[in-house]
Amino acid sequence: MSYVPHTDPDREAMLKTIGVKSVAELFADVPAKHRFPELDLPGPLSEPETWRELHDLAEANADASHYISFLGAGAYLHFSPPLISQLLLRGEFLTAYTPYQPEASQGTLQVIYEYQSMICALTGMDVANASHYDGATSLAEALIMAFNHFKEKRTKVIVSPAVHPHYRAVARTYTQGMGINIVGDDHLDRSLKDLLPLLDNNTSLFVAQYPDFFGNIEDLKAIAQKVHEAGALFCVVTNPVALGLLTPPAAFGADIVVGEGQPLGIPLSFGGPYLGFFATKKEYVRKMAGRLVGETVDANGKKGYVLTLATREQHIRREKATSNICTNQGLMAVAATIYLATLGKNGLRRVAELCYQRAHYAADQIDQIDGYAVNRSQTFFHEFTVKCPRSVEEINAKLFDDCGIIGGYDLGKEYPHLKDHMLICVTEMNSREDIEELVNALEEISQ
Q: Would you place residue 313 in the very low, low, confident or very high pLDDT band (cuts 50, 70, 90)?
A: low
Q: What is the CA radius of gyration of the chain?
A: 26
Q: With pLDDT > 90 as the criterion, what percentage of the chain qualifies?
A: 71
Task: With a cut of 70, say whether residue 326 has pLDDT above it.
Answer: no
- 402: exposed, middle or buried (C-beta count within 10 Å: 0-12, 13-18, 19+)? exposed
Instruction: Report the distance separating Cα 131 and Cα 278, nearest Å.
Output: 7
* pLDDT given for residue 1 in this prediction: 45
Pick the range with the lowest mean pLDDT from 220-229, 236-245, 247-256, 278-287. Answer: 278-287
**Three-state SS for 203?**
strand
Mean pLDDT of the chain: 91
Average pLDDT on 420-436 reads: 98
Q: With pLDDT > 70 as the criterion, what percentage of the chain qualifies?
A: 92
Q: Would you place residue 21 in the very low, low, confident or very high pLDDT band (cuts 50, 70, 90)?
A: confident
Residue of 312 and 228 predicted with greater confidence: 228
* pLDDT given for residue 103 in this prediction: 58
DSSP state of 355: H
Average pLDDT on 59-81 reads: 94
List of residues 6+ apart from 54 with CB closer than 8 A: none
Average pLDDT on 245-268 reads: 97
Strand pairing report for 203-210 and 233-238? parallel
pLDDT (tens digit, 9 = 90+) per residue, 243-253? 999 999 999 99
Pick the range with the lowest mean pLDDT from 4-18, 43-57, 237-251. Answer: 4-18
Task: With a cut of 60, say whether residue 100 has pLDDT above it.
Answer: no
**Three-state SS for 16?**
helix
Buried b / exposed e over 231-266, threshold 16 CB at 10 Å, is ebbbbbbbbbbbbbbbebbbebbbbbbbbbbbbbbb
pLDDT (tens digit, 9 = 90+) per residue, 161-173? 999 999 999 999 9
Task: Give this prediction's pTM.
Answer: 0.88
* pLDDT given for residue 22 in this prediction: 87
Instruction: Report the distance separating Cα 90 and Cα 161, nearest Å.
Output: 42
* pLDDT given for residue 134 in this prediction: 94
> Where does 99-134 have alpha helices with state H?
106-123
Residue 254: closest CA among 162, 74, 124: 124
**Residue 356 near residue 382 (C-beta atoms within 8 A):** yes
**Residue 231 near residue 199 (C-beta atoms within 8 A):** no
Task: With a cut of 60, say whether residue 102 has pLDDT above it.
Answer: no
Residue of 104 and 188 predicted with greater confidence: 188
DSSP sequence for 381-428: SSEEEEE-SS-HHHHHHHHHHHH-EE--EEGGGT-GGGTTEEEEE--T
Query: Which residues does residue 238 pair with via DSSP β-bridges, in sequence order?
Result: 210, 259
Distance linking the first and last C-alpha atoms of the chain = 59
Q: What is the largest CA-CA distance in the chain?
A: 80
* pLDDT given for residue 316 in this prediction: 61
The CATH T-level fold of domain 82-340 is Aspartate Aminotransferase; domain 2 (3.40.640)
Instruction: Report the distance separating Cα 142 and Cα 237, nearest Å.
Output: 10
Task: With a cut of 50, say whether residue 401 has pLDDT above it.
Answer: yes
Class of domain 68-80+345-446: alpha beta
Task: With a cut of 80, say whether residue 92 has pLDDT above it.
Answer: no
* pLDDT given for residue 137 in this prediction: 93
* pLDDT given for residue 35 in this prediction: 82
Residue 293: closest CA among 126, 416, 112: 112
Instruction: Report the distance separating Cα 404 and Cα 396, nearest Å.
Output: 10
Report helix angle 432-446 to 392-403, nearest 10: 120
List of residues 6+ apart from 395 with CB closer than 8 A: 388, 407, 422, 442, 445
* pLDDT given for residue 4 in this prediction: 52
Q: Would you place residue 325 in the very low, low, confident or very high pLDDT band (cuts 50, 70, 90)?
A: low
Q: Would you place residue 42 in the very low, low, confident or very high pLDDT band (cuts 50, 70, 90)?
A: confident
- On the question of a common fold for 68-80+345-446 and 82-340, the answer reads no
* pLDDT given for residue 312 in this prediction: 59
* pLDDT given for residue 322 in this prediction: 64
* pLDDT given for residue 26 in this prediction: 86
Residue of 323 and 215 predicted with greater confidence: 215
Percent composition of the chain: helix, strand, coil (DSSP 3-state, to 5): 40, 15, 40
Q: Where are the domains of the chain?
A: 68-80+345-446, 82-340
DSSP state of 368: T
Task: With a cut of 60, say whether residue 2 has pLDDT above it.
Answer: no
Task: With a cut of 70, say whether residue 151 has pLDDT above it.
Answer: yes
